[in-house]
Structure 1
Amino acid sequence: MGDGAVKQGFLYLQQQQTFGKKWRRFGASLYGGSDCALARLELQEGPEKPRRGEAARKVIRLSDCLRVAEAGGDASSPRDTSAFLLETKERLYLLAAPAAERGDWVQAICLLAFPLAPTRNLL
């Protein structure tokens, strides 16, 4: 994970397998946009070799983001994590963060993906 990240940590990504679905753990870095780069969420695999046909790093452009929301109750996630959805123009991602950090991840992604959206007064 590189410098300049707005938020860093670990996220799980649910991936469709030949037989069912499987959660995979990634190092996650959230970057804001600049004159030289787009706002993005980068998911980096661990030190082990990537599986055949899969990239070691996934980049989700937040400019393509349509929705970020809490996953429904039927979304099972790894132990001590909480799932959320990130929908882009091309794909729907089911991600999971440690339960105590999920709100922080969702809020940080929303702030970067929808910078002009009106903010709610939570008082």
Structure 2
Amino acid sequence: MAGEAQADCLFCKIVAGEVPATLVRETETVVAFRDINPQAPTHVLVIPKAHYPDAAALAAKAPQVAADVLREAGEVAAEEKLDGTGYRIVFNTGAGAGQTVFHAHAHLLGGRGLEWPPG
């Protein structure tokens, strides 16, 4: 069910402290941690602590938490000194778009040129 921790979800386990991660920021609603397979010099995942399967479900069921995810991604970008050079925030939704963990999350990418279109 949306919002409730899922026993088989990697990100729920990170939130619970059952799986280690390199935390960058944590608030009441959001956790940010370094991606274990970075695609840029800075690659941080920003996730809601509550479980939502994707960005669309998060926005529909908890719009304030969705805003928290985006705000914290911006805070991490500032802390990582990306605000002067630019950065990208990406939500993959669905397996066809590259989502591999079905817990809503934003990828914060920066520290290198990011061409367009992506992919």
TM-score by length of 2: 0.32
- Indicate the structure with greater helix content: 2
TM-score by length of 1: 0.31
* Higher RCO structure, 1 or 2 (CA under 8 Å, sep 6+): 2
